[in-house]
Amino acid sequence: MFSLPPADDVRLLNGQRATLYGYHKDLLALIRIISTRVKASQLTKEELVDCCLLLRDIMELAEDLKKETNALMEDAGDCAALLWTLDPTAKGPITGTLAKGIIKQKVYPKLPSKKQEPERHQILLEALGLRPGADANLFSISWPRLVDKLSAEYEAGLPLPAGIKPEELAMKPKLEVRRCKAE
């Protein structure tokens, strides 16, 4: 669709974001109007069926856009973090025209298996706050929350919870992005 030099990617993406913002605003206003009419029983059953189809199509488009956008955002963030890590002169945040990126180390542990290491698994659950003697089969660890918790504790210099071995950790630099303040 687009065959511009890479230097234009950010400018073009910013323009598309502005266009999408306008469509989003208009579509949201229309959806609210239709919602009011549906609640007031002002549409025929035929119109309601057509609305359902169109809304499903809109949702599929939005989900597809979200999926692709999330994947690209993850890849771009990983690439920026890697480039920052490899740059011996890099210090502090990465500052673009629109955003500021901070590199944080994410901690990814190897968790003990319930089946292969039940004692170590129970020790970990208790270190994370499960009451001793509670049935561990009723609980599971939320991977994203555990990674966030361990990463924050690592940044603060706190020790690992019991049940996690330091030699089984993987560290990965991750980019956290903030909007630059408007001048």
Name the residue with higher pLDDT: 55 or 181: 55
pLDDT digits (tens, 9 = 90+) for 57-66: 999 999 999 9
Output the pLDDT for position 113: 85
Output the pLDDT for position 2: 53
pTM above 0.85, yes or no: no
Structure tokens of 73?
């955002």
Using 50, 70 and 90 to split pLDDT, how confident is the model at 181? confident
Would the pLDDT of 3 be above 70? no
pLDDT digits (tens, 9 = 90+) for 127-180: 888 887 777 677 778 889 989 999 999 889 999 888 888 898 899 999 999 998
Would the pLDDT of 21 be above 90? yes
Closest by alpha carbon to 27, among 73, 65, 1, 68? 65
Output the pLDDT for position 134: 76
Measured between alpha carbons, how far is 132 from 114 in angstroms, rounded to an integer?
A: 16
Using 50, 70 and 90 to split pLDDT, how confident is the model at 4? low
Output the pLDDT for position 5: 60
pLDDT digits (tens, 9 = 90+) for 83-119: 999 999 999 999 998 999 999 989 999 988 888 988 8
Dump the DSSP string for the chain.
-----GGGHHHHHHHHHHHHHHHHHHHHHHHHHHHHHHHTT-S-HHHHHHHHHHHHHHHHHHHHHHHHHHHHHHHHHHHHHHHHHH-TT--S-EE-SSEEEEEEEEEEEPPPPTTT-HHHHHHHHHHTTPPTTS-GGG----HHHHHHHHHHHHHTTPPPPTT--GGGEEEEEEEEEEEPPP-
CB 113 within 8 A of CB 121: yes
pLDDT digits (tens, 9 = 90+) for 31-57: 999 999 999 999 999 999 999 999 999
